[in-house]
Structure 1
Amino acid sequence: MHKIMIIEDDPSTREELTLLLENEGHQVLAVTDFTDVAGQLRDFGPHLALLDLGLPGKDGFTLCMEIRRGSDVPVIFLTSRDSAMDELQALNLGGDDYITKPYHIPVLLARINTVLRRARQEPDRLEAKGLTVSLSRGIASAGGAAVELTRNELRILAYLMQRPGEIVSRADLIDALWDDHIYIDDNTLSVNMTRLRGKLEGLKLPDYIRTRRGLGYQV
């Protein structure tokens, strides 16, 4: 059984999703008070959140950013807005999937299960060469000091740490991030790598990520 939080302001959709997920054996919290959604998520501790974009008060984009400041819980955007730009923004803000309404129930359940399965398979803690990274908190630490990482920085560092000693090409790194629904290009990778290295330098690990000229990166 998983705990799933529904952040949806339309009563009929909310009730339909609640019944559907409870029938699948999940414990469901359907939000009806939108004044402190991030706080309710923190208290409930879900394994997954279904998040609409058009909400009273703060929209789904803003709520996703608030959630990501304190939690790495998987977030699936479930919305009637089918704009490619909306989908791109949702995924770049930390969404794990983007599903448009009207949805087909079997497909919705399959994609929910895929996200839940992927979250179970990912370790929460990585350690390599004196550096520790908490994936759920987005924090890297070494020698008693710690820094916060953005989602892109976290995914880049995690991908490299899971392959210690291996040379990872820029193309492979970009492909891996695309597969994880993080849309970046070569220039964006360079910007994130520079910022990431700056943070590692603050942990007194200035050479943690080595550049192998013409080949890629290595930790």
Structure 2
Amino acid sequence: MTEDTTAAPIILVVEDEPKLGQLLVDYLEAADYRTHWLTRGDGVIDYLQSERADLVLLDLMLPGRDGLSVCRDLRRFSDVPVIMITAKTEEIDRLLGLEIGADDYICKPYSPREVVARVKAILRRSGSRAPAEQAAALHIDESRFQASYRGVPLDLTPAELRLLKILSSAPGKVFSREALLNQLYDDYRVVTDRTIDSHIKNLRRKLESLAEEEAFIRAVYDVGYRWESTPCELK
């Protein structure tokens, strides 16, 4: 199933206090954001390696794993904006001084309206917009083995076209090399993980020759690849 590219940004809320978590979800959804709520720190990295989020609201004190270590690990494979939430005002200097990669912090108790305002400001600053605000730039017609970007045809091999469709149909989702191989070849031929790396390299080169300023495919260290949020039209 193709992801709905007209939907609003997704905010991942990581908060173990039920009332606070529900309050954040309610206010964010009232502001027309989509949300996903986690109550433990040890599930955040796994979730973000397989699912899309446009911003993370990350509590500092969490069961399973604290927010600082989660943010450090997150920065190894993702630049998704992070707002840290802390009840420990003495931790603020530490949060900033450790350069863990958080984009902002909010101290408890807070106004949920302030949280929504911070979310809007960071998404605006980071250039993240609802896909409805963007024109679909990438077009794929698999039945004709054709693809184009901003109206310019892409000269792709059949394998590159299939790979482009797999990745672009799920923006933000991380695909392992094995998963890409399994979807790319269904005839059980003997191929290695490096085959995917070679296809990705060629596909990147062809895409970036049309738009050097844009990042299309991002490598996730020791995991695989993900498609950045360029809207895609599939036929």
| Residue 24 of structure 1, CA deviation | 1.0
Structure 2 residue 46 is matched with structure 1 residue 22: no
TM-score by length of 2: 0.50
Output one character per residue of 1:32-85: Cα deviation in whole Å (capped at 9) or x when no partner: 354331111222211000001101122111000111111100000012121232
Structure 2 residue 125 is matched with structure 1 residue 118: yes
Do the aligned residues in 1 keep the contact of 2:40 with 2:63 (CA within 8 Å)?
Answer: no
Which of 50, 53, 68 aligns to 1:61? It is 68
Residues 27-176 of structure 1 mapped to structure 2, 5 A cutoff: 27-83=34-90, 84-89=92-97, 92-120=99-127
Output one character per residue of 1:145-177: Cα deviation in whole Å (capped at 9) or x when no partner: xxxxxxxxxxxxxxxxxxxxxxxxxxxxxxxxx
Q: Distance in 1 between matches of 2:63 and 2:216?
A: 30
Q: Distance in 2 between matches of 1:36 and 1:105?
A: 24
TM-score by length of 1: 0.53
| Residue 133 of structure 1, CA deviation | 9.5
Give the secondary-structure state (helix, strand or coil) at the position aligned to 1:36. Answer: helix
Unaligned runs of 5+ in 1: 140-219
Give the secondary-structure state (helix, strand or coil) at the position aligned to 1:73. Answer: coil
Unaligned runs of 5+ in 2: 1-7, 130-207, 221-235
Q: Distance in 1 between matches of 2:102 and 2:64?
A: 20
Output one character per residue of 1:174-212: Cα deviation in whole Å (capped at 9) or x when no partner: xxxxxxxxxxxxxxxxxxxxxxxxxxxxxxxxxxxxxxx
Larger radius of gyration: 2
Do the aligned residues in 1 keep the contact of 2:16 with 2:40 (CA within 8 Å)?
Answer: no
Output one character per residue of 1:101-148: Cα deviation in whole Å (capped at 9) or x when no partner: 1112332221111100011169xxxx9xxx999699599xxxxxxxxx
Do the aligned residues in 2 keep the contact of 1:71 with 1:137 (CA within 8 Å)?
Answer: no
Do the aligned residues in 1 keep the contact of 2:10 with 2:54 (CA within 8 Å)?
Answer: yes
| Residue 86 of structure 1, CA deviation | 2.9
Paired residues in the alignment total 132
Q: Which amino acid aligns with 2:94?
A: D
Q: Which amino acid aligns with 1:19?
A: D
Return closer, same or farther for 1:135/1:104 CA change in 2, 3 Å cut-off.
farther
Name the structure, 1 or 2, with higher relative contact order (CA <8 Å, separation 6+): 2
Give the secondary-structure state (helix, strand or coil) at the position aligned to 1:50. Answer: strand
Q: Distance in 1 between matches of 2:19 and 2:50?
A: 25
